[in-house]
Amino acid sequence: MLISLVRNPVKNAFLHPIAPLPIAAVTSAFFGIFFLLNRVHHLFCRGSREIACVDYWPISIFLPRQPPNLDFPNLAHISVAALSFLALVFALAVLPRVGFRMWQVALVGFVLVLGTNLAHGLQFGLVRPVTGMDQGNAPYYDDAMNIDTPWALLGDYQERQLELGMHSKTHPPGPVLLFYFLGRLLPDAYMISIALALVSVLLVASVMVPILATEFTDAHACWVVFIFLLLPSVQIYYATSIDALIAGLFIGSFLMFFTDSKVAVWISIASFVLASFFTFLAVFVPAVMLVFEVSTRKRISKTAIALGGAVVFYSGLFAATGFNYLRSFLVASAWENQSRFMLFAEPQSYIATRLEDVAEIILFFGPILALLFLQGLLRRADRGKLMRLAYVAFAVFVLMLTVGVYRTGETARGALYLYPFLMIPVAYALRDGGYPTNRSYAVLAMLVFAQSVVMQLVGDYFW
């Protein structure tokens, strides 16, 4: 039975409307395996001085919603969660009848992101992720509020970098500057979370749909993006994390590889430059670009254009303010890697955290989509450029893990940019599985969103 589920999860696992039993079996097996792996993790970590015990492995940052740390979900929280699910059901009934366009998908996704986060209440759901649990604990907000002027920050950023908060010091100045401007444009912290969610959802939908539409129908592309927006990783982090915006910028950087439009080229350049201004992990983008372009076009012209745009931008920024991107990167890298290469310095911890990184991504992806992902990879049907892009992205991500990136887990947040690529095999599996109907997609959407709602109600993932 298990072999059959892996080979054809679309038919056997959930999409057949009269086969609910396999859905329960796959879901139970998925979470049962994670429970057993959690126990195995604790068995090893308790006997090792090197491996840190993660209580809720593989989720690095997690508090159950129960006293004494948090209160149980109250009636208002449960009501908001229920209304969010009813809003999804309503959208699933209405959207196919009105055309199922990209902006409609983004609007519904945005509303649902706010809904599931408000299942924590306004303070814990939208305010605390911006302002922090206490003074000095905000990811970027405190640093942004202490800026005199943006130009002053850029001018001596390398000198001040190690004095900034834990998150700020390992990033370029983009996140701090973003919160600086948002903090002055918007009067309340919860509005900053709403703005981040709106921009992030609109951005990722507006670039994912046209990219997917190069190999799928417009309707199928919209359905895949809609399901993507229901992912636990998206629902939990898109209103609370700068990594959501980075994810949209990463995938937007590849738009020019799927269309000859000059506008797409400019969008890609701008996306890559902004991504690099928000995170040093934007090195992922040109690495994927280079391998992908060489394997598909036998040249590197578009990769060179993107890199050239970044060089022009940072050269101009250096001339205007004195900000040295390379020097800032070296400061962050030295702070992140104060000991030797992790594999040699802490080999047990290295292996444990690599497993944790991958497991957390899978957990926030969910059981049904994980099976669809496997099906999309294992089927031997003809694949286009999109699947090649996904393969390259996965390979580069594995390389990043190998060299020690993500030392402390939190990949469901920090590696949000990987999830759009994970949806590419899913898109093929859904198309080739023989059930391309609105009812089938609706069943999948409700299953994915149900996990998101449950995760929001049972835990807090504040970082």
Question: Among positive and negative, which fits the CA dihedral 435, 438, 443, 447?
Answer: positive
Confidence of residue 61 (pLDDT cuts 50, 70, 90): confident
Mean pLDDT of 104-125: 95
Ramachandran bin of 43, using left for φ above 0, alpha for ψ from -120 to 50, beta for the remaining angles? alpha
Locus of tokens 């201004």: 277
Query: Among 66-80, 186-200, 299-313, 432-446, which is the least confidently predicted range?
Result: 432-446
Mean pLDDT of 232-243: 93
Q: What is the pLDDT of residue 130?
A: 86
Mean pLDDT of 399-403: 93
Mean pLDDT of 399-426: 90
- Residue 63, φ and ψ in degrees, nearest 5: -130, 125
Of the candidates 435, 399, 433, which has an alpha carbon nearest to the alpha carbon of residue 418?
399
Angle (CA) 165 167 169, round 5°: 65
Give, in order, the Cα–Cα distances in Å from 223 to each of 106, 252, 424. Answer: 11, 19, 12
SS3 217: coil
Confidence of residue 138 (pLDDT cuts 50, 70, 90): low
SS3 245: helix
Q: What is the pLDDT of residue 133?
A: 61
Rounded to whole angstroms, the Cα distance separating 142 from 135 reads 8
Confidence of residue 16 (pLDDT cuts 50, 70, 90): very low
Confidence of residue 382 (pLDDT cuts 50, 70, 90): low
Rounded to whole angstroms, the Cα distance separating 29 from 38 reads 14
Q: What is the pLDDT of residue 71?
A: 87
Rounded to whole angstroms, the Cα distance separating 35 from 382 reads 37
Name every residue whose Cβ is closer than 8 Å to that of residue 241 and which is 6 or more positions away in sequence.
Answer: 129, 139, 196, 413, 416, 463
Q: Is the pLDDT of residue 53 over 60?
A: yes
**Residue-range domain boundaries for the chain:** 2-460
Query: Among 11-25, 53-67, 248-262, which is the least confidently predicted range?
Result: 11-25
| Token pair for 134 | 């206490």
Q: What is the pLDDT of residue 135?
A: 47
Rounded to whole angstroms, the Cα distance separating 325 from 278 reads 11
* Rounded (10°) CA dihedral 236, 10, 2, 19: 100
- CA-based radius of gyration for the chain: 22
Q: What is the pLDDT of residue 52?
A: 84
**pLDDT tens string 294-315:** 999 888 999 999 999 999 999 9
**pLDDT tens string 166-212:** 888 989 999 999 999 999 999 899 999 999 999 999 999 999 999 99
Confidence of residue 262 (pLDDT cuts 50, 70, 90): very high
Mean pLDDT of 74-83: 96
Q: Is the pLDDT of residue 109 over 90?
A: yes
**What percent of the chain clears pLDDT 70, i.e. is strictly above it?**
92
Rounded to whole angstroms, the Cα distance separating 230 from 98 reads 20
Mean pLDDT of 451-459: 96
Query: Among 85-94, 197-206, 245-254, 331-340, which is the least confidently predicted range?
Result: 331-340
Question: Among positive and negative, which fits the CA dihedral 269, 326, 394, 444?
Answer: negative
User: Mean pLDDT score of the chain, rounded to an integer?
Assistant: 89
Helix axes 242-252 and 174-185, enclosed angle (nearest 10): 120
**What percent of the chain clears pLDDT 90, i.e. is strictly above it?**
62
Mean pLDDT of 361-386: 87
Q: Which amino acid is at 77?
A: H
Q: What is the pLDDT of residue 334?
A: 84
Q: What is the pLDDT of residue 441?
A: 86
Rounded to whole angstroms, the Cα distance separating 380 from 88 reads 34
